[in-house]
Structure 1
């Protein structure tokens, strides 16, 4: 029986690649997609999401609009990337996407989908967790319908990737955007697996990988994925930042968990400066699973294989 999945993403290039990867997974039934306006402006990100569903024949999968604005905004130049995605040759001439203001509210859709699901549901988060927390606060009984939460978030034994004012650099962006909701989520004590920077730091977007992917240009998904990843090379200035396969690594965990090493821990999260959003090990904290390592070669090969579909 396929794994029932709900996905919440925040519109970045890595998020959209993750959606594309989910759509190649034969053992996953994607029930719905919600979008958080964190690493994106919501309107173009909804359009990008719809275009990918349309391109792959999945436009029947419902989309939900997140309107919660978070606490610490992503840089605006990062958030603008979906506009570029929508102009790529394989997407620009697709039929017009629906009105971005007509989509239902993301938390309400999560409630509806969990209520109607025939079995327990896995939730994949590649952005902040705010929509899920808002849904659980509104319908706490639905926590029992969650099989597992897989979340690309956190930094436990490595430095964070937040570089901004009044911050010490210890946090990862998906947590930093809304550390209060993160604290609420871990307090629920649901089966939560973090895919943190500790492991995503092992999988940068390299030109060697992009070169291999380019040899598959005759496969439409490989062609599109290559265009997506090529856009990451100047997303943020390379002299102080590297673009990693953050979200797509978390997504691949759904398909090949045996390629990852995990650790059961007690952890906590700070909600105040100067380390707002820091996730840290804490023996008096909350139970969670963190992924600590991955078979890097098998991961890259998996991506090359999936984008041949």
Structure 2
């Protein structure tokens, strides 16, 4: 008799961008993950759009029972409106339009409250995967530090340790990454919390541009899941024209860490802290032990292995997804 698969309990907190929604699809493809719920941070999205797309993906993949809660804590450094509106294209894709979302799973409490209650009731330590700002979780840790043992690990797409950031604002020196910059105080709270944090910073994600070769590789799968993922990514080709023209597998890499073999990346640890004021608000920087807090971060990835894993996962099927066309 085969051994029973041990599943990892996961809370997924995202901020509704295209790569966040792709990350939800990727996470749902992992057999070893027990998705306890999805929470939304109103950062790189408008929350109604993020909620609708999340519900449609959960419904489409047969996961309409998974709880979804939307956050209401604002960040002091808003994402540009055109970025926040851009993910609306996701629930306008044909397969998404044909899907009538289940709404019974929508929670009528704020995301941070839902996370707090879920951690209190957890039967075993939970992995918290975050692909947007860390505001919801930081609010919980500020109110309820006693819940820290309920968290096995926090995997967060955030920060830029030894590379330049991607914030280009008039009052910023460009050293921060956007998720950390949206709410610098929340970033500092997480760093200083003492929970087991694994950052997935720009240092690692810079190795994974969404280029044409990757999209062609994905298209060769010819499955409905891969096609929908490819349509999402196609919408990013000119997504950030303000100061860079390349979309990266930012959130996808953070999500992949939950499923990749450890040979596909390297992890380091060190003492860091976070700035909360101009001109470098949100910067996560190395420092001496006496001035910082120990965290882990991914500093290198095998880009080919990551791409292969992502294509493999998106080449699978979900029970409720339309049958693949056979050519």
- TM tier, shorter chain? over 0.9
Distance 2:32 2:45 in 1: 29
Distance 1:123 1:103 in 2: 21
User: Does 1:223 pair with 2:227?
Assistant: yes
Q: RMSD of aligned C-alpha atoms?
A: 1.5
Secondary structure class of the residue paired with 2:298: strand
C-alpha displacement of 1:49: 0.5
Secondary structure class of the residue paired with 2:173: coil
The equivalent position to 1:125 in structure 2, one of 124, 130, 155, is: 130
Q: TM-score, normalised by structure 1?
A: 0.96
Secondary structure class of the residue paired with 1:254: coil
CA change 1:101–1:32 in 2 (3 A) is closer
Secondary structure class of the residue paired with 2:129: strand
In structure 1, runs of 5+ residues without a counterpart are: none
In structure 2, runs of 5+ residues without a counterpart are: 1-5, 317-327
For residues 194-240 of structure 1, the C-alpha deviation after alignment (integer angstroms, 9 at most, x for no partner) is 000000000000101101111122x1110110001000101111873
Residue pairs, 1:1-309, within 5 angstroms: 1-96=6-101, 98=103, 103-217=108-222, 219-237=223-241, 240-258=244-262, 259-283=264-288, 284-309=291-316
Distance 2:95 2:140 in 1: 35
Contact 1:43 1:100 in 2 (8 A): no
Q: TM-score, normalised by structure 2?
A: 0.91
Distance 1:286 1:52 in 2: 37
More deviation in 237-246 or 200-209? 237-246
Distance 1:115 1:240 in 2: 42
Contact 1:46 1:100 in 2 (8 A): no
Distance 1:191 1:102 in 2: 27
Contact 2:16 2:87 in 1 (8 A): yes
